[in-house]
Structures are given as structure tokens and as C-alpha cells.
Homo-oligomer: A and B are copies of this chain.
Amino acid sequence: MATINEIGVAAAINIVTSIAFLIAFAILRIQPVNDRVYFPKWYLKGLRTSSIQTGGFGSKFINLDFRSYVRFLNWMPEALKMPEPELVDHAGLDSVVYLRIYLLGLTIFFPIACVAFTTMVPVNWTNKGLDGLKHSNISYSDIISYSDIDKLSLSNIPNGSDRFWVHLCMAYAITFWTCFMLKREYQNIALMRLQFLANDERRPNQFTVLVRNIPVDPHESICELVEHFFKVNHPDHYLTFQAVHDATKLSELVQTRKQMQNLLDYNINKHMRTLTKRPVIKMGFLGCCGEEVDGIKYYTSMVESLTREITEEKHRLRTGTKSIVPAAFVSFKSRWGAAVCAQTQQSRDPTEWLTEWAAEPCDIYYDNLALPYVDLKIRRIIVAVAYFFLTFFFMIPIAFVQSLANIEGIEKNFPFLKPLIEVKFFKSIIQGFLPGIALKIFLMLLPRILMQMSKFEGFISTSSLERRAASRFYMFQFINVFLGSIVTGTAFQQLNSFLNQSANDIAKTIGVSIPIKATFFVTYIMVDGWAGVAGEILRLKPLIIYHLKNSFLVRTEKDREEATDPGTIGFNTGEPQIQLYFLLGLVYAAVSPILLPFIILFFALAYVVYRHQVINVYNQKYESAGKFWPDVHRRVVTALIVSQLLLMGLLSTKGAHKSTPLLLVLPVLTIGFHIHCKCRYQSAFVTYSLKEATIKDTLERTREPNLNLKAFFRNAYAHPEFRVGENLDLEMAMEKPDKLPELVATKRGSWRNTSLPSKHI
């Protein structure tokens, strides 16, 4: 593998790249013309309306105040300055909790690194174990590539040495410290979430429950059915409901109108610049041939006709009942009523009248609301099978690319490149860059596929879609990046010995390969972590798109606002990445501590960068109040257990058999710890206690005794296309007299029979 020299070159390249990105960012961000790209959050919050100008000619576009260039790194302390409670107000709890994952990484790994470097590195270094490897079953080509880096790792200790007790103690220390920090953080986050929910202002989702799988009734429409069901079964608490419409066609129309509007704007702008000639477009294939028409006129008529169609479609949806899907948002008079309805079973048939807390209106993913129970189950199976194939057949290209990226592999497959590769500098570049980049390209394609899978699977809120996609992405990374890199890489080196082992010995085989792969992962952290984070803050893609849109489409200040894409944290891609570093850190902490400084540097840099982005850029679309933390916690615990099992495999092949029973205790304890944490803290993320609901209800009743909640809910959960660019009219909500009659009128003939058991259970 790579020598310390090669690692040095790779590190240098990556550090230079990262610093270049950071400097580019520091210069670009203080140009007023980029203000909307680098500080969109402030515009969205209405705290800034135009860029800060320093005066002088051209200062509207370029920063001429040279003092500000001197202080080009001052965004870092600025990013750290804002206190956490203010950050919660500014960006929401989700963002703050997300940032705390990085902090958790720092607090876990910094002490571990200190201990590892003071105790384990000397223990590993003062050995000559690697000289003895010639007698083992690892092929010759590996041994010659062992270098100084590997002398820091556990591989350097001869088989059966007593020094493995140090690693054993280290494993215990790592486990206890990690669990301690995890528990403290789970506790903190649970408390933050509860406090946030307690202090949160009144929102429709606090009173609303989403009901799905409303059964079909021949006597009543869905709206009547919902109303009757809840008036009967929640007589004192039910207030109103909002039907869900199947607005697929409307969405398409709105989408088309938006495109046409963009083209119209483009043509108008073009005309304004070249006042003499009216823009002309061709009606044929891709606008290249065919009849010529006046562009502005054509698009104006298109937009007008689409607007008419949209109005008609809206009217159709509002008045007709055919487009209503068997799901509804049911609102209650109090949070207590909603909490009760969300936590209880409504009907004896567990596939009907399924209730759950409604997510925030902007978090709802409307397309999946209508899916019936059976469909959901079938879709889940299909997605599981598809995911299985995606995960396991993805390994083939990675293995291929990595075998090419091997110096010896390239020399063998492309002999004409040999003189070039032998140049030391190029060799380092290839060693340092290629494997990481090949992986990175593969992984860039993935999140979209996984998100589509989650959408197909039928999740009904963006937050749950992202959580699911994150969980899948992590599994994928674990199997393909972590295990795949270790086993595939090894497969080309140790294929013979590997094929002859039984399934039982896989843990051992992986364990043995881990120290060998340390340098690969160092490279990976630098490319994926450091350069990735530095690239994140530069925001090259939004920058280019903004300036393109600004030149061609923007006419008004509102257009300019829409041209900015502040983006979001991107939980579904960001969190699995962090988790991979947690996994690498925990696995290598007791084996090759050389990885730890790289990981710590990543966590520190990422923390500062993402804090800056959260403050200045990202516009989180929904607020789930840190609901993803149980997932984060579970994945770190899983990584801890994996690290323990692999260390066990590694030590048992190193002749330290005595340690196995002692190491076996650790996974058992860790699983116990996980169960304890789950019992203790998870409920804060899943349910909403009646006591909390009562307290909030009571406070509200005291403060605003005459509150008209019904008006508050009106259209809160209307399909977003109803809300686009229009004032919501009042027809949507069914207006009823405030005083509800005691008896509920029903058209249903079979009402009397409901106490008899259903035949379908």
C-alpha cells in the first residue's frame, strides 16, 4: 500500500484544493453581486433586502473595500458566534440538531484520539511484527508494500503478544466513552425537542391527525363518512376536517405554466435589450425549424390559456367529489384530542381508519396519501427486492474501477502508460485520488434513486422520505464503501485464501484486512470529507445557476428572489456521510489510530462550514423538531458493534484467543445500552404525552379564550397547488354552524348493524 510519502502528497493535494475552495469562497462571498447566493437565508427571512454596498463606482457588483479582503477568513468566527437558542429561532431545531451530530463526532473522537496517540501508538510502534508476516498466509505483494504508516497500526504487533491487552482495554474505553456521550446527547436532544414543542407557537399540525385508509361505504361519500365517524367516536373533541384531493393534473398544469412563464420572461427580456426586433420562435422540432411566430405573443397566449385551464381544474376539484382520495386531515378542538386520536386505534380492523400525527403542511408529500393498505405492503416488498439488487450488484463496477486504480493493475492493463506512472508525482496522484473519486461519482448518482424508492414505497412526509433514504444510503455505504472496499480490495489480493474459508470466518477475514486498508480510507476522507465540505461552502452550482437566471429570466425583484436556490441541509445525503466517518473512526480507533486526526479535522471543518451555511444559506423546508435523532443514535451504536466484532475477528487471527470472551461482552453490553436508551428517550420522538398537551391547551385557553380555531385550520392542509400564487378562497372548508347538533344525521342504511362484527376481519 501507500507509503507515508504518498499519503503526504495526497494530503497536500487535498489540502491545497480545500484551501483554494475556501479562498475562492472568501472572495466571492463579499462581492455584492453574489450576495443572494451566499446569504439567501437573510433575504428569505426579510432581514436583508439588498446587498450591502461599500460605495464608489461599480460597488453594486464588486466589492471595492480592500480591507474586507484582508479579513477574508472572518466568516469562521462569525459562524460560531451565534448562540444555540438564537440559532434555533433563526433556522429551526432540525438544523441545530443536525449540527450537533458533528459536535458529537468531535466530543467522541477527540479524547479517544488523545488516548490512542499517547498509549497505543508507542505500543504499536516499538515492535517488529511486520517482519514476521512472511510466515503468514498473506501474499508477498502485500508485505513489500507495508510501510511506516502500518507501523503505527496493530499489524505491527507479533502474533500472540501480550501487548494486545492494551487494545482490549482501549476497546472497552472506546465503548464506554462512546456510550456515555451518546446517552448524554440523546438526553440533551430529547430535552431540546420537548422544550421546543412546549414553546412552539400554535400550528395546525398540533391539532391535526392524518387519517388514511378510510373504508369505502356505498351509502356515504368520503367527506360524510369522515365527519360521521369522528363526530361519533370523538364527540367532545372533533372540530373539522380537510379532504385530500387528487391534484395530479393540476400539478402538471401549474408546472407547464411555470415553464411557459419562464420562456415568456426570456423573450420579453430579449426584446427589451434589442428594442428594434421582436423575438421570433420556430414552431417545429426543438425550435430549429418550422413556421415562425412572434415569441412574446405566443407565450402570452399559452400562459393565458393555461391559467384558464388551471382555474377550471381547480373549480372541478373543489365542487366534485370524485377527486377526493380516501384520506383526510382531521382537526380537533384541542391538542389533547389530537394526541388521543393519533395514539389510539379507531376501528377494530387494523387496516382501516389509520391515524397518525399530521406532519407540518409544508412537510406533507401529497402524492402518497391515497395509497391503500395492500398497495403499501406490496410496494414495500418491491422496494426491498429492488434495494437488495441495487446494493449487491453495485459492487461490480466499484470492484472493477478499484482494480484499475491499483498501480500494478494500471501497469498491467495499460502498459503504454507505464513510463508516465513511474514518475513519482503521478504515482502519488493516482494512488491518492482515483479510488476515492471513482467511489464518489458512483455515490453522487445514488441519493436520487433512493429518494425515488422511498417515494414509491409510500411515505407521506418529506421528512420521513429523507429519513428513509438516509437509512438506505447508509446501508449502501456500509456494504459498498466500507465492506466493499475492504473485501473487494482484498479479494484481488487474497482471493485464494478467501474462497476456501467458510461463512463463519468472514468476520475474521474482514478484521485482518482492516489495518491494510487504513491508507485507502485516509485518502477517502480527504477527498470525500475535506474537499467535499470545502466544495459545499463554495456553492459553485447555485452560483452559476443564479447568475444564468439573473441574466436571462429576472425582471422584477420577486423574480430575483425566486432565482435563488438556498438549498437545504440534505439530511438524506449528509447524515449517512457523517455516519460513515463515525464507523471508520470507531473501527480504526483501536486498530490504526492514524485515521483519527483526519476524521477529527473533517468533523471540525464540517461543523464550522455547516454552521455558516445554516445561518446564512440553507432554507429548511420543514421542521420535524429533531425527529431523526433516534436514527442517528441507532446508526452510531451499530457502528460501535461492528467495530467490536471486527476487532474480535482481527484479534483472534492474531493469536490473542484469550481476548475473545472479554470482547464478546462488549456487543452484549452495547445492545443492552441501546435497548435502555430506546426505552428511556425514544418516546420523546414518537409520541406526544397527554400531560404536555393538557398544559399547552390550558395555557392557550387562558390566554385566548375566544379563539376561532376553525378559521385557523381553514385550508391549512389544502394541496400546495391550490395555494400557488392565489389567495385561498373560502369554499374549500365546509362551513358549518359553530354549535354542533348532538345527534348526527346519517344516510347510511346499515348504521344499526355496526355493533355486529365486520365480516372482513
Residues of A within 8 A of B (CB): 187, 190-191, 194-195, 198, 229, 232-234, 236, 336, 339-340, 343-348, 350-351, 353, 377, 381, 502-504, 672, 676, 679-684, 687-692, 694-695, 699, 754-755, 757, 761
Indicate if the CB atoms of A190 and B233 lie closer than 8 Å: no
Residues of B within 8 A of A347 (CB): 689, 691
Shortest Cβ distance from A346 into chain B, in angstroms?
5
Can you list 28 A-B contacts with CB-CB less than 8 angstroms, sorted by A residue number? A190-B761, A194-B348, A194-B757, A194-B761, A233-B690, A233-B691, A233-B694, A339-B344, A340-B340, A343-B343, A344-B690, A345-B683, A346-B689, A346-B691, A348-B689, A348-B691, A350-B682, A350-B684, A351-B679, A351-B680, A377-B676, A502-B502, A502-B504, A503-B504, A504-B504, A681-B761, A695-B754, A699-B755
Bound CA span A687–B344, Å = 8
Bound CA span A691–B690, Å = 20
Residues of B within 8 A of A754 (CB): 691, 695
Shortest Cβ distance from A222 into chain B, in angstroms?
17
Residues of B within 8 A of A232 (CB): 691, 694
Closest 5 CB pairs of A and B: A350-B683, A343-B344, A345-B687, A345-B689, A348-B689
Residues of B within 8 A of A694 (CB): 232-233
Residues of B within 8 A of A195 (CB): 757
Residues of B within 8 A of A350 (CB): 679-684
With A191-B757, A198-B757, A757-B198 already in contact, the answer to whether A348 and B684 are too (CB < 8 A) is yes
Residues of B within 8 A of A755 (CB): 198, 695, 699
**A345 is contacted by which of B198, B381, B503, B690 (Cβ under 8 Å)?**
B690
Residues of B within 8 A of A229 (CB): 691
Bound CA span A351–B676, Å = 11
Bound CA span A651–B684, Å = 50
Residues of B within 8 A of A692 (CB): 348
Residue of B nearest to A687 (CB): B345
Residues of B within 8 A of A353 (CB): 691
Residue of B nearest to A692 (CB): B348
Bound CA span A672–B680, Å = 30
Indicate if the CB atoms of A187 and B761 lie closer than 8 Å: yes
The DSSP consensus for interface residues of chain A is helix
Residue of B nearest to A353 (CB): B691
**A684 is contacted by which of B234, B339, B340, B761 (Cβ under 8 Å)?**
B761
Q: Besides the contacts A198-B755, A681-B761, what 7 more A-B pairs have beta carbons closer than 8 Å?
A: A234-B690, A340-B344, A343-B344, A351-B679, A381-B672, A502-B502, A695-B755
Shortest Cβ distance from A508 into chain B, in angstroms?
12
Bound CA span A503–B508, Å = 15
Shortest Cβ distance from A211 into chain B, in angstroms?
12
Shortest Cβ distance from A760 into chain B, in angstroms?
10
Indicate if the CB atoms of A344 and B344 lie closer than 8 Å: yes
Bound CA span A679–B377, Å = 10
Most chain B CB atoms below 10 A, which of A336, A353, A676:
A336
Residues of B within 8 A of A348 (CB): 194, 684, 689, 691-692
Bound CA span A343–B342, Å = 10
Residues of B within 8 A of A191 (CB): 757, 761
Residues of B within 8 A of A339 (CB): 344
Shortest Cβ distance from A118 into chain B, in angstroms?
36
Shortest Cβ distance from A465 into chain B, in angstroms?
22
**A343 is contacted by which of B190, B194, B345 (Cβ under 8 Å)?**
B345
Shortest Cβ distance from A495 into chain B, in angstroms?
20
Shortest Cβ distance from A674 into chain B, in angstroms?
13
Residues of B within 8 A of A681 (CB): 350, 761
Shortest Cβ distance from A497 into chain B, in angstroms?
16
Bound CA span A472–B565, Å = 59
Residues of B within 8 A of A672 (CB): 381
Bound CA span A348–B232, Å = 29
Residues of B within 8 A of A679 (CB): 350-351, 377
Bound CA span A699–B754, Å = 12
Bound CA span A694–B680, Å = 33
Residue of B nearest to A699 (CB): B755
Shortest Cβ distance from A339 into chain B, in angstroms?
7
Residues of B within 8 A of A345 (CB): 343, 683, 687-690
Bound CA span A234–B236, Å = 12
Indicate if the CB atoms of B690 and A346 lie closer than 8 Å: yes
Bound CA span A350–B234, Å = 25
Bound CA span A190–B351, Å = 14
Residue of B nearest to A229 (CB): B691
Residue of B nearest to A503 (CB): B504
Shortest Cβ distance from A300 into chain B, in angstroms?
54
Shortest Cβ distance from A568 into chain B, in angstroms?
28
Shortest Cβ distance from A692 into chain B, in angstroms?
6
Bound CA span A144–B255, Å = 82
Bound CA span A232–B679, Å = 26
Residues of B within 8 A of A502 (CB): 502, 504
Residue of B nearest to A754 (CB): B695
Bound CA span A728–B343, Å = 38
Bound CA span A520–B688, Å = 56
Bound CA span A339–B340, Å = 10
